[in-house]
Amino acid sequence: MTKMDRRAFIKCSAAAGAATAFAATGVLAGAQETARGQQGQRMALLMDNSLCVNCQSCRVACQNENSLPIKEKYIRFDYVDSGTWPNVSHHVNRHSCQHCADAPCVDICPVEALFKGPEGFTHLDFEACIGCGGCQMVCPFDVPVISDEPVSGEPKMYKCTACRHLITEGKKPACATTCITNAVDYGPWDEMLSKAEKRVEVLREQYPQANVYGKTQQDGLGLLLILRTPADEYPHLI
Ligand code: SF4
Ligand code: SF4
Ligand code: SF4
């Protein structure tokens, strides 16, 4: 698809969906602006990829917690090999919604199925989604997956919802409570960033290019990543 085709698709889909939403709700306010106006402590998920042993417990816990069809996954993994033999290393990175502070998916969604919570995560109203694919076209991290809903057969978008049903009750997201190596954490954004920066200082003794990813990208990410190697080695990071 060319850039022109892509723009036309987004414009067309957005317009069609917006008309549907307007008829249904009578309101089409900027969901992102509304959320930004709310008060709330900014929270974050922290993924320490240097601790991950890729057992996929978080992925399975997420599927169970969110009643996902077996083939749908909110958490995927990327694998990267670095170095030159005999000094080679293998790295893993969690690929899931990065919860951009400035989230283009929220701006493009014609039916407000995507919206920002006061804690900064990008939430998904699965019922409202019409599966138009607009979010998929604009996500810089290639996260949204459009798939048919198993019972109705209607196209729907699948992505991490930050376990909204848990965090609004003051609980941790499922992936942050199941990791066997404590690679996943959840807490106030500033605390998670500080924890990540301290961890990276230690990692740099062995991996000089270790870094924290997410401090500045898209105005700051709700999913912070600890990487042992530069971000440009990972296929879904920008
Ligand atoms: S990573 Fe993609 S789906 Fe997630 S908030 Fe950012 S733009 Fe939206
Ligand atoms: S696929 Fe769903 S969530 Fe994505 S833009 Fe379309 S309606 Fe919104
Ligand atoms: S925060 Fe919840 S929905 Fe998101 S990946 Fe973790 S378990 Fe899944």
- Yes or no: say if 59 and 73 are a contact pair by the CB < 8 Å rule: yes
Which ligand gives the minimal distance to the CA of 112?
Answer: 2
Name the residue with higher pLDDT: 45 or 15. Answer: 45
- Please state, in angstroms and rounded to a whole number, the distance separating the CA atoms of residues 129 and 17: 10
Provide the pLDDT confidence category of residue 66 given band limits of 50, 70 and 90.
Answer: very high
Q: What is the CATH number of the domain that holds 17?
A: 3.30.70.20
Instruction: Please determine, for residue 228, whether its predicted confidence score (pLDDT) is greater than 50.
Output: yes
Instruction: Please determine, for residue 12, whether its predicted confidence score (pLDDT) is greater than 80.
Output: no
Tokens of 210: 């270790």
Total structural domains in the chain? Answer: 1
Nearest Cα residue to atom 7 of ligand 1: 139
pLDDT in tens, 181-214: 999 999 999 999 999 999 999 999 999 999 999 9
Instruction: Please determine, for residue 166, whether its predicted confidence score (pLDDT) is greater than 70.
Output: yes
Instruction: Please determine, for residue 27, whether its predicted confidence score (pLDDT) is greater than 90.
Output: no
Instruction: Please determine, for residue 5, whether its predicted confidence score (pLDDT) is greater than 70.
Output: no
Predicted pLDDT of residue 40? 79
Q: What is the mean pLDDT of residues 116-121?
A: 97
Nearest Cα residue to atom 2 of ligand 2: 129
- Please state, in angstroms and rounded to a whole number, the distance separating the CA atoms of residues 132 and 9: 9
Instruction: Please determine, for residue 94, whether its predicted confidence score (pLDDT) is greater than 70.
Output: yes
Nearest Cα residue to atom 6 of ligand 3: 175
Predicted pLDDT of residue 229? 95
Q: Quick check: helix, strand or coil at residue 68? A: coil
Report in angstroms the alpha-carbon separations of 72 from 63, 68, 114, 220: 8, 6, 18, 27
Q: What is the mean pLDDT of residues 56-73?
A: 96
Provide the pLDDT confidence category of residue 165 given band limits of 50, 70 and 90.
Answer: very high
Q: Is the CB of 112 under 6 A from ligand 3?
A: no
41: CB partners within 8 A, 6+ apart: 119, 188
Predicted pLDDT of residue 129? 98
Q: What is the mean pLDDT of residues 80-103?
A: 93
Q: Is the CB of 159 under 6 A from ligand 1?
A: yes
Nearest Cα residue to atom 8 of ligand 3: 62
Predicted pLDDT of residue 58? 97
Query: Is 238 within a domain?
Result: no
The rounded Å distance from CA 232 to ligand 1 centre is 18
Report in angstroms the alpha-carbon separations of 83 from 15, 87, 133: 48, 6, 38
Atom of ligand 2 nearest to the CA of 17: 7
Domain membership of residue 85 as a residue range = 3-233
Number of H helices, E strands in the chain: 8, 10
Instruction: Please determine, for residue 133, whether its predicted confidence score (pLDDT) is greater than 70.
Output: yes
Predicted model pTM: 0.84
Predicted pLDDT of residue 83? 85
Q: What is the mean pLDDT of residues 152-158?
A: 96
